[in-house]
């Protein structure tokens, strides 16, 4: 019997749907996506106008879409998985937000016409995409010339073996993780897509390991391996995650980057 991290004869999008169906409620409560200060900083950097039409790709429970809807004329939140969209839609109805709608869709094959949005944004999802360059190209395609394309996501070391170590830990925790990129890869990807970077800022999160694993409902075998890998990392500095103990619990750092660009 294969463990949770093995999915024979299944495509990656099926894995994403399965994981985020199971994780929907826990993910909707995760600090990295619910933090209002972080959301506000990104929206301020995007500089939306009241007349703008915005798209959030991989919206999940929709927090980015809600933040944009407070500043834009119309917002669409799109996600591959129905379960988080149900949470988003329930919140939309409770808040009576009329200029926002949610729909199911594939980030690699957006169903919208060329140039229909002023803003296209994606938060903390690029490390789940099999082909992040294609997703960015699709976001660029549906954004008008001169419009804004923005990504916020994890980023890893420029040193390949350190990045591989961290990505291995991430995949053990959640098999829908593909690969978090290095900053240089994001920069090159923006250039290839014809997006000129306007603003960029980085941050880091100190994450409690047990809470992080519980959010993804990681299996017991994978939990044990992650613990061992992070203990090794703490001794040998193998990944840049810089694990440490605080009040008897193991923590580590995740680095994040926000890149805001203009479609040429």
For each of the domains in the chain, give its residue range(s) and CATH number, in order of start. Answer: 12-156+176-205+254-263 (3.40.50.150)
Global pTM? 0.94
What confidence score (pLDDT) does residue 10 get?
73
CA dist 170 and 213 (Å) reads 10
- Do 261 and 148 contact (CB within 8 A), yes or no? yes
What confidence score (pLDDT) does residue 172 get?
98
Question: Does the pLDDT at position 6 exceed 90?
Answer: no
pLDDT band at 95 (very low <50, low <70, confident <90, very high): very high
Helices (H) and strands (E) in the chain, counts: 11, 9
CA dist 81 and 135 (Å) reads 16
> For residues 106, 110, 112 and 116, what is the CA-based torsion angle, rounded to 10 degrees?
120
CA dist 77 and 245 (Å) reads 38
Question: Does the pLDDT at position 5 exceed 50?
Answer: no
Task: Compute the average pLDDT of residues 204-233.
Answer: 97
pLDDT mean across residues, the chain: 96
Spell out the SS3 assignment of 70-129.
CCCCEEEEEECCHHHHHHHHHHHHHHCCCCEEEEECCCCCCCCCCCCEEEEEEECCHHHC
pLDDT band at 1 (very low <50, low <70, confident <90, very high): very low
The two most distant CA atoms of the chain are separated, in Å, by 54
Task: Compute the average pLDDT of residues 51-68.
Answer: 98
Strand 195-208 to 181-182 pairing: unpaired
Phi-psi region of 125 (alpha: psi -120 to 50; beta: other; left: phi over 0): alpha
């Amino acid at each position: 019997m294969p463990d949770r991290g093995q999915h024979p004869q299944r495509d990656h999008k099926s894995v994403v749907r399965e994981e985020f169906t199971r994780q929907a409620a826990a993910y909707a409560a995760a600090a990295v996506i619910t933090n209002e200060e972080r959301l506000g900083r990104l929206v301020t950097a995007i500089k939306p106008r009241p007349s703008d039409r915005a798209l959030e790709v991989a919206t999940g429970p929709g927090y980015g879409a809600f933040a944009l809807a407070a500043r834009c004329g119309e917002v669409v939140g799109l996600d591959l998985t129905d379960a988080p969209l149900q949470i988003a839609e329930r919140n939309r109805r409770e808040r009576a937000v009329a200029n926002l709608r949610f729909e199911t869709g594939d980030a690699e094959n957006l169903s919208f016409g060329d140039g229909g949005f002023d803003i296209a944004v994606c938060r903390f999802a690029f490390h789940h995409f099999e082909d992040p360059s294609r997703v960015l190209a699709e976001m660029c395609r549906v954004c008008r010339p001169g419009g804004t394309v923005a990504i916020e996501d994890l980023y890893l070391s420029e040193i390949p073996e350190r990045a591989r170590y961290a990505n291995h830990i991430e995949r053990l925790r959640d098999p829908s993780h593909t690969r978090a990129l290095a900053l240089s890869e994001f920069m090159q990807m923006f250039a290839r897509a014809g997006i000129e970077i306007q603003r960029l800022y980085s941050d880091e999160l100190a994450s409690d390991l047990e809470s992080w694993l519980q959010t993804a409902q990681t299996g017991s075998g994978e939990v044990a391996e992650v613990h061992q890998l992070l203990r090794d990392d703490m001794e040998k500095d193998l990944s840049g995650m810089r694990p440490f103990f605080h009040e008897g619990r193991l923590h580590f750092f995740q680095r994040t980057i926000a890149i805001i660009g203009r479609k040429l």
